[in-house]
Every structure is written in structure tokens, then in C-alpha cells.
Amino acid sequence: MKTKFPRTSKRNKRNDEFRAEGIIDKLRRKREMKQDGEWEEKKREDKQVKRLKKVRNMESKGKTESNRYKKLKEKVYNPFPEKSQSRSKAIKQFKEDYNRVGKVKSGEYDNEKREFHWNKGTKKVKLLPSDDADRNITKGVKKRNLGKNWK
């Protein structure tokens, strides 16, 4: 039976200079690619190949209904998705709207922002749901996304 890897005695026969040349050559190619600006593109392509491999593996196992599969498939087949409005921009826009009306200087904005939160799903600032006694329901909302914690 043949072993997959050569014995250590055979492996040690290769001189160190030969081994070092391969490593140095790889580093040299990497440096050249970075200078030419090709390195980032190569890394991105390698990532895409790995993701595609994962997607195909999940498809073969029949895991096409999972959220993980759907997100991965979206990343593979749409590598440059349009970026939606970020949290900080949405909060800034929300404050600017209050500023246009003149409610920031009067302090009304600070009181009313407690009734709002950042919704990650819709990427918008939304009103917090409240119960019958007009108390805000903050269950399921992260503390940093609550309006009272905005700067």
C-alpha cells in the first residue's frame, strides 16, 4: 500500500534553498500583485469561489430552505449589492427633519426620539409599538437602536 505523503527521510533530502525559493517566489508575486492593484480583486474572486462551493454543497444536501443558504446564494450571485441606507445616516436624516421644523432647539426632539427606534429589517427609523397604557414596548429591540440612546 502506497502512502499519500512521502516519508520524512525523502522529504528532508530536498535542500532548504529549494524550499525557500518557492516561498520567496510566492511572496514576490503577491507583492507585485499588490502594487498593480490586482491583489484585492484576486482575494474577492477567491471568496466568491469558496462561497459558490458552499452553496453547491448545501444544494446537494437539500438545505435550500434555510436562511443561511439564501443569504449565501445572494452573496454568490449578486457580489455587488446596492448598499441601503445605514443606521447612522437614517438617524441623521431623522434629526434633520426635526431641525427643519425647529423642534431640535426647543428640546422637543430629545423628548420625542425616545418613542422611536432603528429597524434593521426595513432600514428605517420607526415608531416603537406601545401597549394600552402608552408605555413603549422595547422587547426585541437592541439597546443601541433605541432612540433614547442616540447621540
Same-domain status, 127 and 100: yes
Q: In terms of domains, do 121 and 93 share one?
A: yes
Query: From first to last of its 151 residues, what are the pLDDT tens digits of the chain?
Result: 566 666 666 555 566 666 677 788 888 888 888 888 888 888 888 888 999 999 999 999 999 899 899 888 888 877 666 655 688 888 888 888 888 888 888 888 888 888 898 888 888 888 888 888 888 888 888 888 888 888 7
The answer to whether residues 137 and 96 belong to one domain is yes
Give the pLDDT confidence score for residue 56 in this predicted structure: 92
125 lies in some domain:
yes
Please check whether residue 113 is in contact with residue 150, taking contact to mean a CB–CB distance below 8 angstroms.
yes
Tell me, what's the pLDDT at 57?
93
The reported pTM is 0.43
- d(CA 122, CA 128) in angstroms, rounded, equals 14
61 & 96 share domain: no
Residues 68 and 91 in one domain: no
Which range marks the domain in which residue 57 is found? 15-77
Give the per-residue pLDDT at 83. 59
Decide if 128 contacts 138 (C-beta within 8 A). yes
Is 10 within the bounds of a domain? no
d(CA 145, CA 55): 32
Helix (H) or strand (E) holding 126: strand 124-127
Cα gap 9→100, rounded to integer Å:
79
Residues linked to residue 127 through DSSP beta bridges, in sequence order: 116
C-alpha separations of 51 from 27, 39, 71, 145, 150 in Å: 25, 19, 11, 31, 36
Is the same domain home to 58 and 93? no
Q: Which of 104, 99, 92 is nearest to 150 (CA)?
A: 92
**In the prediction, which pLDDT does 1 show?**
54
Please tell me the total count of domains within the chain.
2
Scored b (16 or more CB within 10 A) or e, 48-75 reads eeebeebbeebeeeeeeeeeebeebbeb
